[in-house]
Amino acid sequence: MNKTLLVIIATLFCTFAHAQSASFEASTGGFSFIPAFTSEDPHLIINAGTNENKKLSFHLLTTIRLSNLIPRSVVFISRYKIIDKKLKVNIGVHLPALQISEDYLVDTFFAQELITSYELSKRVSIGTFYLHGNGKNNDFEANFLAFNTTVNKGNFSFVSQLYGLDLDNTYGVSETITYKINKNIAARGFVNKTISDGKFNWTLGLRYNL
């Protein structure tokens, strides 16, 4: 195990020690902010963060391959609320975002995000998500834009997304359905159709919230 992975694991433990919220999800696939990049291999998805009700919050998102328990990605996110009313506007930075191969090779990325949402009613909201990312030790650079609608009905939550990526002219639609089983446990289903190349992928997961 190389030094980079040891540093990542140590950082994960320190982050969880100071986190105010955390969730663990066992999934048939992975997670990506860009639906077309979602892995179809089983993963453990871990999310931890500070209080989201404050102006400034910090978050850690990591995915771990269940086949060999090697992390696939680790993203450290800082977010700041510019507007927090019926209209919500958040800006954020991903510093850093790490992509880790099964051979422990690490690609490093820096990203900026802009998230908006507007509450149409107590059950329905619309919003946008913009993400710009560029590689620090690689030549990756892309802009991602998504328009989404969130509908809450009882224990169900439906998030519909229409997205585009200026990399290989990628665009598509996705749907995430979450069912809250109880206070701590939720089931989640995700379906993506990348219209530009015809790719179809889906995942099922079970999440536990601390």
Over residues 9-16, mean pLDDT: 56
Residue pair 209/188 in contact by the 8 Å Cβ criterion: no
* pLDDT for residue 142 is more than 50: yes
Give the whole-angstrom CA distance, residue 68 versus residue 70: 5
Which residue range(s) make up the domain with 131? Answer: 3-209
Token pair belonging to 159 = 């998030």
What confidence tens digit (pLDDT) does each residue in 99-124 have? 989 888 889 999 999 999 999 999 99
What confidence tens digit (pLDDT) does each residue in 174-210 have? 999 999 999 999 999 999 999 999 999 999 999 999 8
Q: Is 40 helix (H, G, I), strand (E, B) or coil?
A: coil
For the chain, how many structural domains are there in total?
1
Question: Is the overall model pTM greater than 0.85, yes or no?
Answer: yes
Token pair belonging to 174 = 């996705």
Q: Which CATH number is 164's domain given?
A: 2.40.160.40
